[in-house]
Amino acid sequence: MKRSNYNFSVKLDEDKSIAFNSFTTDLSLVNERFDFLLNNIEDIVYDDLNGEDKAIFDKMKEAGYIVDDATEELDLLKIKYNKSKYGEKKCTWSCYSTNHEL
């Protein structure tokens, strides 16, 4: 797992922060345990986590704060953009030939 490139956070006090992922548009009030897991995600073994940390980890993954190592977020963003630009819209047109003599 790795951190998303689209994470932002603002520290509110010693143990609370606001985290935002601009790719998924998730906004969360998080604790210092979230910050610790996020900052050390490359070294974490999921099976070694306790129940509370596994729950935080699962929510982080679901919300997009962490992604699989193979995930290329920029490619996903390009796909998302192209879907919004070209997808879902249907355009039909017809072409009729006419024989005009001048």
Asked if the structure places residue 60 within a domain, the reply is yes
Asked if the structure places residue 64 within a domain, the reply is yes
Residue 38: CB atoms within 10 A of its CB come to 21
Asked if the structure places residue 87 within a domain, the reply is no
Asked if the structure places residue 6 within a domain, the reply is yes
Tokens of 68: 């699989």
Q: How many domains does the chain have?
A: 1
Would you say the C-alpha torsion 2, 71, 30, 6 has a positive or negative sign? positive
> For the segment 9-56, what is each residue's pLDDT rounded down to a tens digit?
999 998 999 999 999 999 999 999 999 999 999 999 999 999 999 999
Tokens of 102: 């001048």
> For the segment 49-75, what is each residue's pLDDT rounded down to a tens digit?
999 999 999 999 999 999 999 999 999
Asked if the structure places residue 46 within a domain, the reply is yes
Write out the residue range of the structural domain in which residue 59 sits. 2-69
Asked if the structure places residue 101 within a domain, the reply is no
Tokens of 15: 């143990």
Asked if the structure places residue 45 within a domain, the reply is yes
